[in-house]
Amino acid sequence: MPAITNINHIAIVVDDMEKALTFWHDTLGITLHELREVPAEASQVAFLPLAGAEIELVRPTSADSGLAKYLAKRGPGMHHVCLEVDDIEAMLTQLKNRGARLINETPRTAADGKRYAFIHPESTGGVLVELYQV
């Protein structure tokens, strides 16, 4: 049986990265590990790691991505929670068998080789959930 093993990150969508970092870095005092352009996702991401998980501030860099549409519709705020799973294929199969609606039926591969997939908020009580096999 596949298992969820950890929270990997919590992603927050922002419209103004400098302003967001004023709170998350300057005011709250979390170390900014990296501010990275992610062209494949048409976004800029600030990584603020903590002991066991990470806060990610995500800003869309094009107007037509899913993230940009989300931001335009709902404004800045919580975007998704990412959970680590030991076997993403088996978990996606289990989710399908249990009636969950998936955004990605098969895992996608990130630039760094991590495999990920999203579960639709309709099946989770309104929270977009990302699965990561690290």
Q: Which residues bind Co ion (CB under 5 A)?
A: 11, 82, 130
Q: How many CA atoms lie within 13 A of 2 on its CB side?
A: 17
Show the tokens assigned to 36.
């990275």
For the CB of residue 134, give the shortest distance to Co ion in the complex, in Å. 12
For the CB of residue 14, give the shortest distance to Co ion in the complex, in Å. 14
The DSSP code for 41 is G
- Cβ closest to Co ion, residue 54 vs residue 89: 54
Residue written as token pair 């005092």: 29
- Cβ closest to Co ion, residue 21 vs residue 132: 132
- Written as one letter, the residue type at 6 is N
- Cβ closest to Co ion, residue 46 vs residue 82: 82
For the CB of residue 130, give the shortest distance to Co ion in the complex, in Å. 5
Encode burial over 99-119: b for 16+ CB neighbours within 10 A, e otherwise: ebeebbeebeeeeeebbbbbb
Helices (H) and strands (E) in the chain, counts: 3, 8
- Cβ closest to Co ion, residue 41 vs residue 86: 41
For the CB of residue 114, give the shortest distance to Co ion in the complex, in Å. 10
Show the tokens assigned to 4.
């969820």
